[in-house]
Amino acid sequence: MCLAIPMQIIDIDGFNARCEAKGVERDVSLFMLQGQTLERGDFVMVHVGYAIQRVTPAEARSTWELLDQVLAAEQGEEAAGAEPAAAG
């Protein structure tokens, strides 16, 4: 699955930023958002290492809530598939 995830900017150096989400830090290119003024603390959607859109903190939070639900559902399906069939 390839998707964009919200991350918070913790440091900016030119068109590069250090971003964090759920305790994980990544270097992210800001090149695609060069027409926008971005600051430390802003949230951006990141796809394959590129910030592609600025989002509000509420949008970032709601996106993570949805992603957590999808992950929980996938893990539930995997666990259900791993259980041995009941003898009948």
The Cα–Cα gap between 60 and 12 comes to: 19
* Amino acid present at 43: F
* 52 phi and psi angles, rounded to 5 deg: -115, -10
Share of the chain above pLDDT 70, in %: 90
pLDDT (average), residues 15-35? 97
H or E stretch at 35? none
Q: Domain of 59: which CATH number?
A: 2.30.30.140
List, for residues 46-83, the tens digit of each pLDDT value.
999 999 999 999 999 999 999 999 989 988 877 777 65
What's the structural domain count of the chain?
1
**By residue range, what is the domain housing residue 72?**
5-81
Q: Looking at residue 74, what is its pLDDT?
A: 84
Q: Looking at residue 71, what is its pLDDT?
A: 87
Q: What is the DSSP letter of 87?
A: P
41 in any annotated domain:
yes
Q: Are the C-beta atoms of residues 39 and 17 closer than 8 Å to each other?
A: no
Average confidence score pLDDT of the chain = 90
Rounded to two decimals, what is the model's pTM?
Answer: 0.81
